[in-house]
Amino acid sequence: MLSTLGGGVAMQVVLGATGGLGHWVVEKLLSQKGQVRVLVRTPSKLKQFSNVERLEVIEGDASRIDDVKRAIEGASHVYYCVNVPYPDWRLKAIPLLQTTITAAREKETKIVFPGNVYVYGHARSEFVGEAHPWATHTRKGELRIRMEQMLNDAWNSDKVPYTVVRFPDFYGPWVTNELYAPIFRNALLGKPITWYGKLDIPIEFAYIEDAAEALVMAGVGSSTNGESYNVPGAGASTPREWLQLVCSIAGTKANIRTVPKFMIALAGITNSMAREFYEMIYLKTERLILDGTKFKKKFGTIPATPYKDGIKETLDWFRDPSP
User: Can you spell out the DSSP letters for 183-199?
Assistant: HHHHHHHT--EEEES-S
- Nearest-angstrom CA–CA distance, 282 and 161: 33
DSSP 111: E
Per-residue confidence (pLDDT) for residue 189, from 0 to 100: 96
At 283, is the secondary structure helix, strand, or coil?
helix
Flag whether 153 is in a domain. Answer: yes
Residue 160 lies in a domain: yes
Full residue range of the structural domain in which residue 144 is found: 11-120+130-171+207-232
Average pLDDT over residues 206-233: 97
C-alpha closest to that of 120 among 84, 92, 145: 145
Q: What is the DSSP string of 214-258?
A: HHHHHHHSTT-TTEEEE---SS-B-HHHHHHHHHHHHT----EEE
Is residue 138 domain-resident? yes
Give the chain's domain count. Answer: 1
For 68, 86, 139, 267, the CA distances from 270, given in Å and listed in that order, are 36, 15, 19, 6
CATH number at residue 75: 3.40.50.720
- pLDDT for 323 equals 55
Q: Which residues contact 50 (CB under 8 A, 6 or more apart)?
A: 27, 30, 31
pLDDT of residue 115: 97
CA Rg value for the chain:
19
| Helix H or strand E encompassing 175 | none
The pLDDT confidence band at residue 87, using thresholds 50, 70 and 90, is confident
- What is the predicted pLDDT for the residue at 3? 37
pLDDT at 10: 78
Per-residue pLDDT tens over the stretch 273-315: 677 788 899 999 999 999 999 999 999 999 999 999 999 999 9
Res 5: pLDDT = 46
Specify the amino acid at residue 306. P
Average pLDDT over the chain, rounded to an integer: 92
pLDDT of residue 4: 40
Structural contact between residues 215 and 111, judged by C-beta atoms closer than 8 angstroms: no
pLDDT band at 322 (very low <50, low <70, confident <90, very high): low
Q: How far apart are CA 89 and CA 142, in angstroms?
A: 11
Is 270 a member of any domain?
no
16 in any annotated domain: yes
Cα–Cα nearest to 212, from 54, 33, 40, 2: 2
Q: Is the residue at 137 inside a domain?
A: yes
Residues counted in the chain: 323
Question: Strands (DSSP E) along the chain, which ranges?
Answer: 11-15, 36-40, 55-59, 75-80, 110-116, 162-167, 170-171, 193-196, 206-207, 227-230, 256-259
pLDDT digits (tens, 9 = 90+) for 241-272: 999 999 999 999 989 999 887 787 777 777 77
Q: Which residues contact residue 160 at a Cβ distance below 8 angstroms, ignoring those fewer than 6 apart?
A: 101, 104, 105, 111, 151, 154
Report the side by side order of strands in the sheet with 55-59. Answer: 55-59, 36-40, 11-15, 75-80, 110-116, 162-167, 227-230
Q: What is the pTM of this model?
A: 0.93
- Across the range 117-140, mean pLDDT stands at 97
Least confident of 50-54, 190-194, 220-224: 50-54
Q: What is the predicted pLDDT for the residue at 192?
A: 95
What is the predicted pLDDT for the residue at 95?
97
Q: What is the pLDDT of residues 140-179, one digit of tens each?
A: 999 999 999 999 999 999 999 999 999 999 999 999 988 8
The pLDDT of 25-32, averaged and rounded, is 93
Contact 225, 76 (CB under 8 A): no
pLDDT confidence tier of residue 40, bands split at 50, 70 and 90 = very high
Query: Can you name the residues that pair with 83 across neighbouring β-strands?
Result: none
